[in-house]
């Protein structure tokens, strides 16, 4: 299983649990932007896993690039679209129009439909691929109440779209405010931003994370290569975002 780094940390864990071999491929990071390596479609692996938009970077890999990768890569291209509702563009045409037989999209109701407690996920792919997965998947995967709630949520697209619009609008405002404070951050296509802290004496990502936590404002920070100088902030309500921005101004 080949996967990008930094990305969602559960995938290497699941790969190990299944007794599969892991291959971590570093994202390129140039001029403050994250990007897929040029030759990634030629990686020697059975599964190539791309989270899109990616977590925790928040960036969107171009769908045209994913199409090109899927055309060359010999194995299964698994695209985790957990955050796709905030991106404005998804890889769905690769499955629905182009009918690529080796593309599997993973979706969840946890983010774009605010149903994180529901544990309702689904996959989108050509029938030829789903038929094979059907052979080994769990027999009783989703409970009846979760099915009813997920169905109701999906039926109410007007409500969902309004939620996405609010998040995207606040994301733009928070991004601008952070940049004004000296943070540098690439455009996010998700419901969070990953911001590099300003280069100032005494200012560290960890320090900001801990100071905010002491004030009951929870953001994420990882002591990991390439992102230890960055903080991930999930977009909240306007009031929550103001609270965070005020506190950051005070800290800096």
Binding residues for a copy of itself, rule CB under 8 A, total: 18
Q: Quick one: 61 or 108, whose CB is closer to a copy of itself?
A: 108
- Alpha carbons 187 and 177: distance in angstroms, whole number: 13
Those residues with Cβ within 8 angstroms of residue 135's Cβ, 6 or more apart along the chain or in another chain: none
From the list 73, 70, 35, 39, the residue with the least C-alpha distance to 54 is 35
Token pair, residue 71, equals 């055309």
Asked whether the beta carbons of 109 and 153 are under 8 A apart, the reply is yes
Torsion angles phi and psi, residue 9, rounded to 5: -75, -10
Identify which of residues 97 and 140 has a Cβ nearer to a copy of itself in the complex.
Answer: 140
Residue from 70, 118, 197, 248 touching a copy of itself (CB under 8 A): that is 118
Site for a copy of itself contains 221 (CB under 8 A): no
Binding of residue 123 to a copy of itself (CB under 8 A): no
CA distance linking residue 21 with residue 30, whole number of Å: 29
- Length of the chain counted residue by residue: 252
Nearer to a copy of itself among residue 55 and residue 70 (C-beta): 55
Measured CA to CA in angstroms, residue 116 lies from 109, 120, 137, 158 at distances of 7, 8, 22, 19
Q: Does 113 bind a copy of itself (CB under 8 A)?
A: no
106 binds a copy of itself (CB under 8 A): no
Binding string, 7-36, against a copy of itself, x = CB under 8 A? Answer: ---x--x---x-------------------
**Residues in contact with a copy of itself, shown as a per-residue x/- string from 129 to 168 under the rule CB under 8 A:** ------xx--xxxxxxxx--x-------------------
Q: Which residues bind a copy of itself (CB under 8 A)?
A: 10, 13, 17, 117-120, 135-136, 139-146, 149
């Amino acid at each position: 299983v080949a996967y990008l780094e930094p990305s969602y940390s559960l995938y290497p864990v699941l790969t190990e649990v299944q007794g599969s071999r892991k291959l971590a491929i570093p994202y390129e990071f140039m001029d403050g932007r994250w990007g897929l390596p040029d030759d990634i479609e030629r990686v020697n692996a059975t599964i190539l896993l791309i989270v899109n938009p990616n977590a925790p970077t928040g960036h969107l890999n171009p769908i045209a690039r994913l199409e090109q990768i899927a055309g060359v890569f010999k194995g299964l291209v698994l695209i985790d679209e957990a955050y796709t509702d905030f991106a404005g563009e998804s890889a769905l045409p690769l499955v629905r129009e182009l009918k690529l037989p080796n593309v599997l999209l993973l979706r969840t109701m946890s983010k774009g439909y605010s149903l994180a407690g529901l544990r309702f996920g689904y996959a989108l792919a050509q029938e030829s691929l789903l038929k094979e997965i059907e052979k080994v998947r769990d027999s009783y995967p989703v409970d009846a109440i979760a099915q009813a709630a997920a169905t109701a949520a999906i039926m109410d697209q007007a409500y969902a779209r309004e939620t996405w619009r609010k998040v995207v609008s606040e994301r733009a405002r928070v991004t601008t405010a952070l940049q004004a404070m000296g943070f540098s951050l690439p455009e996010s296509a998700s419901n969070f931003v990953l911001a590099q802290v300003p280069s100032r004496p005494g200012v560290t990502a960890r320090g900001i994370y801990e100071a905010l936590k002491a004030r009951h404002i929870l953001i994420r920070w990882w002591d990991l290569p390439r992102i230890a100088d960055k903080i991930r902030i999930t977009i909240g309500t306007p009031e929550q975002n103001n609270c965070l921005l005020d506190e950051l101004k005070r800290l800096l």
